[in-house]
Amino acid sequence: MATIEQLAIFQITIPLIVAPLVFLLKNGNRAWFLTLVTSVAMMWVASQLLVHVLSVGEFVTQIGGWAAPWGIEYRVDTVNAFVLLIVSGMSSIVLMFARQSVNQEIESNKRSLFYTSWLLCLTGLLGVTITGDAFNVFVFLEISSLSSYVLIAMGRDRRALTSSFQYLVMGTIGATFILIGIGFLFIVTGTLNMADISERLSDTSQTRTVRTAFAFIIVGIGLKLAMFPLHLWLPNAYAYAPSVASAFLAATATKVALYMLLRFIYTVFGFEFSFDLPLSETLVILSSAAILVGSVVAIFQDNLKRLLAYSSVAQIGYMLLGVSLATQAGLSAALLHVFNHAVIKGGLFLVLGCFVFRFGTASLKLLSGKGTQMPWTFAAFIAGGLSLIGVPLTTGFVSKWQLVTAALDIGWWPVALVVLAGSILAIVYVWRAVEVLYFRPVSDDSQIVKEAPLELLLPTWLLIGANIYFGINTELSIGVADVAAHWLMTGTR
Amino acid sequence: MKIPASEVLLLLALIIPVVGSFFIFLCRKFPNVREGITLITGIALFANVSLIASRVFTGERPEFVLAEPFSGFTLSLAVEPLGMLFALLASFLWIITSIYAIGYMRGHGEDNQTRFYIFFACSIASVMGVAFAGDLLTLFVFYEILTLMTYPLVTHSGTAEARRSGRVYLGILISTSMVFFLLAVVWTALEVGTLAFSIGGIYPEGTEPWVLGLLLALFVFGIGKAAIMPFHRWLPAAMVAPTPVSALLHAVAVVKAGVFSILKICIYIFGASSLHNLAVAEWLSLLAGFTIIAASIVAMGKDNLKARLAYSTISQLSYVTLGALLGNSAAWTGASMHMVAHAFGKITLFFCAGAILVAHHKKNVSELDGLGRVMPFTMGAFFIGSLSIAGLPPTAGMWSKWYLVLGTVDAGELILLNVLLLSTLLNVYYLVSIPIRGFFKPLRTPVSGIKEAPLPCLIAIGVTTTITVGLFIYPEHLFQAVSGLVTTW
Amino acid sequence: MTRNPVLQVISKIMIPVILLFASYVQFHGDFGPGGGFQAGVLFAAAFILFGVVFGIESVVKVLPQGVLRFFIASGVLIYGATGFVTLYKGGDFLDYNVLSSHGPSGQHIGILVVELGVGITVASVVIAIFIAFAERD
Amino acid sequence: MDILSHYNYWVAIFLMMTGFYVVIASGNLVKKLIGLNVFQASVFILYISAGVVDKGVPPILKEGASILYSNPLPHVLILTAIVVGVGTTALGLALAIRIKEAYGSVEEDDIHAQEED
């Protein structure tokens, strides 16, 4: 039995080591299996870490036996253990779905490359989350980004290439901004360890250099996070990526970016420094705009994947809105929505994966009336859509409730109204799709199609079921989010 | 056999219809078995609800906590007399409507009947949830579920018109509830720290009047199902649904869920004393009065029979809203009784409209001249029903209107008193005139002999008409049930 | 590509020198400036020069795709395996001190092995990139 | 002149803006990548110049008690960043080639024009 410190190391090293092994495999199915096993193992590790931090408390583990300011340390606390579990859990569930979908969408000689990229992406995402070193964040971020560009570029449509390229340019600019910010922090403090930086900043804070660093880092993360108006790369990237890649990235990548944002705002720069700057005001405006604009644009999309992608832009707005409230309740709502949105969007993208599997397209026009041919898939779409709207007994409702409560608690009326108005827009775009899928006459009668295979339906319904389960029993989701928010605000459990 | 505890019965009220719908799904290939299951489910539910009622009216108050999604705020079931009355009403009329639906759906040759029965049963389950909701959060949750469960029924035919109406239906109901209702619920939760219904209201003394006023407005507008203007458009839109849906859901269950929620919030969240001191309550009751008159005037202009009935419903719902907002015991008694009286009256009218549609394919009022001679039974029932809606003897509607009028007098609202009286006149003009035309005007296209709707339809019409008259002659039980409530207010 | 004898002769002389220098940078990394990254690129440079002068197919003959793939993966595996060995020996991940009874010499061993892994991967990746680009018409 | 005392920043900013401009203004995907490289290089320079210690010598361990070394850490970091940059460039170029094969052009305008049909 490994110690908990070793488990924390395994979180990164095992996928990193398995990646080249998968790379050497020729057979796509074997590669898939190895990837799945690794991912599930990482989920187990993450759950162990979460249990440990919840019961015992945060802990630090060093790489190479070098203590903190010189070496890199991994620091596990409630916040990132929660995110680790989300990332590895979503990866595992989406991977269960992946085999058939990948076999259909990706040429056989590229499948093991696909899974290699997947594992590297997972490594990167987990690494960003677990590390306590600012520069290491950049490195892992780039690992995950580079591999996600590859994942996206493997889409069948040639537009996957251009959208991947666009993402690459934007993503690199974002990462470089983060690098500049970290550079300034290094110049000011002479250290790269987050805890150290934060300690040393408390003496020198509010100098122009620190503020510049802050601005660069926030904008850089904003790019990775698809914070409005830096979201332009996201819709295309999600729309043309292979189905499973869309589901994986939608459920994890932006969540990790949000975590990064929180980590820098709360741990590195500190609550007081960050919110002395007009951060709250900026975020509130941007995220409200994201909710409204993202939802409105989603209404006019003709491709279901793009529709969901724009909806993601709006949903990221909800998370940022929670952050902008600058209260513990708001922060908790944001963290809760990180989890809930991962479940919702992961589930919905898997639903689209089922449609794409049978019909080879996510275009709304070509799918008209097809809902009737795949009742279970369609039912999953409706259930997920309701959650997106925020109907009671779904996770979406729980998030909205917490967010509205947090906003009203400090008397931010208009914010609460924006959140609720977002639901109305969500009904419009979800229901537009539902109507086309169900009520429109089938566009092409010759194509009589069976329900998606069980191997695809099970993981889809697993996520959709989780949507409902966590909409009723919120002990885990709200519970952990509360503890994590408290930890971020006060630094104590 | 040991009779289970009331808590279990409470849970069963939600479970029975859902289980029923599951079996309906299993028997989708055998229409007769399927309809049999619908009926059995209906009877089982009514028996179950009656069993609860027999205990509740003797003073028991069962409660059941389903889940606790937010710390301190639960999803719970609890029974009080008003909800009990509503549950009895809905579960009883479900049986009747099922009988009617069998005749109608087959007579009219509708598609997708299995889907129809499944969602019908699920809607009833949500109605039970609304009726037995133990706190505001639960009420909200089941209110929303009810909207979603009735959506497939509204868009049943799947035509472009049905889709458009579905959009209006969902759009208005979900928008109002998600924005206003939810906001009010969350705000109340923050303000008070609890959402449980309690006699005399839950807002602490000294809550700012503007807060209370705003909350009341949010509740009244947020509960779009009560169809107060300007959020009434969904109700006429919902009339594209098959007639049994319009009859049970859009004359009884759904709309009553709306006014029931308002009534319950007025009684158990605000309480009489809060309402009395609120200027907003008065403005809102004036708005309800306006809705009564305006909807009646619109109804006069409608030639489509179901549309006319829909606007009549809008107007009648505002009776209840008005009574709820007046906040005195006569008005509350009237409002509660009106829920029941209007239910029987209006469902009769819808049954008749459906019967006319099935038997003669006529949808418009102007086509009904002389039809009384062909469908004497249906037209007779229509006459009784419209008397009840107008609030004239010998029907149940008279008693509820009586108490509502008393309520306006008690509250000193002369304008509203006049509104109620004027509304009676308008009702006579646009509803009672229909059977009169039917009996006395000459038939446009001659039809030989009597041609009524299928037998199940007639049975259903007979039952509801009888009860409408019966409640006039023997109002004691209803009154006792309601006044049992009143003493606890 | 043109078969220019002058280039061919000179590169035949240069390539061994480059390889030698690459090895020096590689294995001297734990004493002075250098290490896997630099050495890997130098190593690859030799192969790229070879490919440019003698044609890409000659490089592919020496390093077929399968072999290249194997090298790419094995470098990472060497690196990871070192980490796991140190874990197994009771230290932290990549804690070289436990590799030998005498701490600093453990550091030497560790760095040498890890840098070897890095060098192999960097060299083979750079060559693979070169081949991938050059092979397309 | 105080404004020139941190001339390394001016160089970095000049390069950064040049690179950024090229990324935005150029429609050619390969030129975009070059711009991106310049952009990244500016940050590398920023880091390395921050590691300079006045009168410091390259940080290679020598005999002697008090030799002033430059800070080696930025170099190490930037080495990693350069590798990342190489990876990005390689991937970007690979994508550019695939785009060329799919669309027959690496000019953004041409690609957009083809998408609109």
Task: Report pLDDT for C1.
Answer: 52
Domain of C94 in residue numbering reads as 5-135
Tokens of B355: 């019967």
pLDDT tens across A382-392, in order?
999 999 988 88
Query: Do residues A388 and A348 lie in contact, with contact meaning Cβ atoms separated by under 8 Å?
Result: yes
Residues within 8 A of C (CB atoms), D 41-60 only: 58, 60
B–C contact: 3+ Cβ pairs < 8 A: no
Nearest Cα to Cα of residue A420 among B118, B442, B488, B180: B180
B175 closest CA partner among B130, B136, B221: B221
Here the tokens at position A119 are 């594992």
SS3 state of residue A229:
coil
How far is the C-alpha of A281 from the C-alpha of A274, rounded, in Å?
Answer: 12
- CA–CA distance, A108 with A491 (Å, rounded to integer): 49
On whether the CB atoms of residues A484 and A82 are closer than 8 A, the answer is: yes
D2-116 carries CATH number 1.10.287.3510: yes
Tell me the per-residue pLDDT of A138-151, one tens digit each, with 9 for 90 and over: 999 999 999 999 99
In contact, B322 and B228? CB cutoff 8 Å? no
Spatial distance between the Cα atoms of C101 and B386, rounded to a whole number of angstroms: 101
Letter string b/e over residues B108-127, b meaning 16 or more CB atoms within 10 A of that residue's CB: beeeebbebbbbbbbbbbbb
Q: Among A44-53, A318-327, B14-23, B230-239, which is the least confidently predicted range?
A: B230-239
**Residue A479 pLDDT exceeds 90:** no
- Angle, CA of B188, B189 and B190, to the nearest 5°: 90
Q: What are the C-alpha distances in Å from A106 to residues A112, A134, A251? A: 10, 36, 21
What pLDDT was estimated at residue A39?
Answer: 92
* Closest C-chain CA to A61: C92
pLDDT one-digit tens code per residue, D72-105: 788 888 888 888 898 899 999 999 988 888 888 8
User: Quick one: average pLDDT of A240-249?
Assistant: 90
What is the tens place of the pLDDT at every residue in D19-73? 999 998 888 899 999 999 999 999 888 888 877 777 777 777 777 667 777 777 8
The pLDDT of residue B489 is 47
**Which chain A residue shows the shortest CA-CA distance from C111?**
A64
One-letter amino acid identity for A248?
F
pLDDT at A493: 56
Q: What is the pLDDT of residue B1?
A: 47
Rounded percentage of chain B residues whose pLDDT exceeds 70: 96
Touching C: D residues 62-91, CB under 8 Å: 79, 83, 90
Inform me whether the C-beta atom of residue A454 falls under 8 Å from chain C C-beta atoms.
Answer: no
Q: What mean pLDDT comes out for the span A437-441?
A: 79
Cβ-proximal residues to B16 (8 Å cutoff; 6+ apart), any chain:
B41, B44, B45, B48, B125
- In the A/B pair of chains, how many CB contacts fall below 8 A? 74
State residue A434's pLDDT score.
Answer: 86
* CB within 8 Å: D23 and A186: no
Contact B158 A420 (CB under 8 A): no
Going by C-alpha positions, the residue among B14, B244, B13 that lies closest to residue B117 is: B244
Q: Which residues 61-80 of chain D have a CB within 8 Å of chain A?
A: 73-74, 77, 80
Q: For residue A453, is it within any domain?
A: yes
Q: Shortest CB distance from B163 goes to which of A420, A439, A474?
A: A439
Q: Is residue A14 over pLDDT 80? A: yes
Label residue A29 exposed, middle or buried (CB < 10 Å: 0-12, 13-18, 19+).
middle
Average pLDDT over residues B49-58: 82
pLDDT of residue B383: 87
Return the residue of C nearest to A9 by Cα: C93
What contacts 24+ positions apart, CB below 8 Å, involve D11-17?
D11/D42, D11/D45, D11/D49, D12/D42, D12/D43, D12/D45, D12/D46, D12/D49, D13/D42, D14/D42, D15/D39, D15/D41, D15/D42, D15/D45, D16/D42, D16/D43
A19 CB neighbours in chain C (<8 A) are 76
pLDDT band at A123 (very low <50, low <70, confident <90, very high): very high
Inter-chain residue contact A423 with B178, CB threshold 8 Å? yes
Which of C77, C92, C129 to mutate to probe the A interface, most A CBs <10 Å? C92
**What is chain A's alpha carbon radius of gyration, rounded to the nearest angstrom?**
21
User: Number of CB pairs < 8 Å for C and D?
Assistant: 14
Instruction: Pick from C129, C130, C131, C137 the residue to mutate for testing the D interface (most D CBs within 10 Å).
Output: C129
Q: What is the pLDDT along chain C (137 residues), one digit of tens a residue?
A: 567 888 889 988 999 999 999 988 888 866 767 788 888 999 999 999 998 888 888 888 888 888 988 998 898 899 888 888 887 777 777 777 777 777 677 777 888 888 888 899 999 999 998 888 887 76
Closest by CA position to B385, among listed B463, B443, B300, B318: B463
**Does A172 sit within 8 Å of D29, measured CB to CB?**
no
Residue ranges making up the domain that contains A447: 280-493
Cross-chain Cβ contact A13/C83 below 8 Å: yes
Give the whole-angstrom CA distance, residue B105 versus residue B354. Answer: 10
pLDDT in the model for residue C103? 67
Question: Does A287 map to a domain?
Answer: yes
The per-residue pLDDT for A118 is 92
Task: Indicate whether A352 pLDDT > 50.
Answer: yes
Q: Express each pLDDT in A321-330 by its tens digit.
A: 998 888 888 9
For C67, the token pair is 């072999």
* pLDDT confidence of residue A1: 46
Q: Is C74 on the interface with A (CB under 8 A)?
A: yes
Give chain C positions within 8 Å (CB) of A5: 92
The three-class DSSP label of residue B114 is: helix
Nearest CA in chain A to B147: A391
Number of compact structural domains in chain A: 1
Which residues, at least 6 apart from A440, have a Cβ–Cβ distance to it below 8 Å? A368, A369
CA A176 from chain center: how many Å?
A: 21
Q: Which residues of A touch B145 (CB under 8 A)?
A: 391-393
pLDDT cut 90: percent of chain A above it? 29
Average pLDDT, chain A: 87
pLDDT of residue A205: 63
ipTM rounded to 2 decimals: 0.86
CA dist., res. A354 & res. B140, Å (int): 33
pLDDT at D65: 66
How large is the average pLDDT for residues B3-32?
82
Residue A437 lies in a domain: yes
How big, in percent rounded to 5, are the helix, strand and coil portions of chain A? 80, 5, 20
A227-241 tens-digit pLDDT: 888 888 888 888 888
